[in-house]
A and B are shown apart, each in its own frame.
Chain A
Amino acid sequence: GENVEQHPSTLSVQEGDSAVIKCTYSDSASNYFPWYKQELGKRPQLIIDIRSNVGEKKDQRIAVTLNKTAKHFSLHITETQPEDSAVYFCAASKGGSNYKLTFGKGTLLTVNP
């Protein structure tokens, strides 16, 4: 089955700096890669996703890049703010509504004011 590795497990940055979280996946059939933000005790919230026919996607301060050949994808947050502090999870699936997500172990991001 799919295996998703995520690094780092914790990341601390100063407000205004950029943060980068990296994930690798094992199943070459995976073609959908979402990123979720989870605050303590809350549900995961989708912040951005990318499909395998695209190499990069951006939404304001958040961007995701995908290297299908190397089977890795990354989340980039620019101009970080304290409210960006949370746990971020990457995931991978084969796409479509019936395919399960396999999650990475998560990254605790702390943005220091």
Chain B
Amino acid sequence: GAVVSQHPSRVICKSGTSVKIECRSLDFQATTMFWYRQFPKQSLMLMATSNEGSKATYEQGVEKDKFLINHASLTLSTLTVTSAHPEDSSFYICSAPNGGGSDTQYFGPGTRLTVL
């Protein structure tokens, strides 16, 4: 299957700082990527749809100025959590469909963010 990577896998930061998370499709091109957030013992909640070359589409209740998404190439999308606070601590996971109109989405390994 297709491979999606994320970096970093784990980050600890102080309150008020910004954190950038990268999502890469390693062996395929992805015009669309999805960013999810998962709190402990909960389901995956879609935050936004990242579109290559255009603005991201945010889900209701997700602050676009706080969670900046940039999809500058067909293999890379970045999520920047600006002015992070402890309540932003979560598991952030990206996914990408492997193209050709396929339904199948492949997930990255996730990034564990802890804001002190």
List A residues at the B interface (Cβ < 8 Å). Answer: 32, 34, 36, 41-46, 49, 51, 89, 93, 95-106
Contacts and interface: CB of A to CB of B under 8 A. Distances in A.
Interface of B: 1, 31-32, 34, 42-46, 49, 91, 93, 95, 97-110, 112
A93 B49 CA distance: 14
Contacts of B45: 103
Contacts of A105: 42-43
A106 B34 CA distance: 19
Contact of A97 (B42, B91, B99, B108): B99
A97 B44 CA distance: 18
Contacts, number: 63
Contacts of B42: 105-106
Contacts of A36: 107
B103 A96 contact: yes
B70 to A, nearest CB: 18
Contact of B109 (A42, A46, A49): A42
A104 B42 CA distance: 10
Contacts of B106: 46
A97 B102 contact: yes
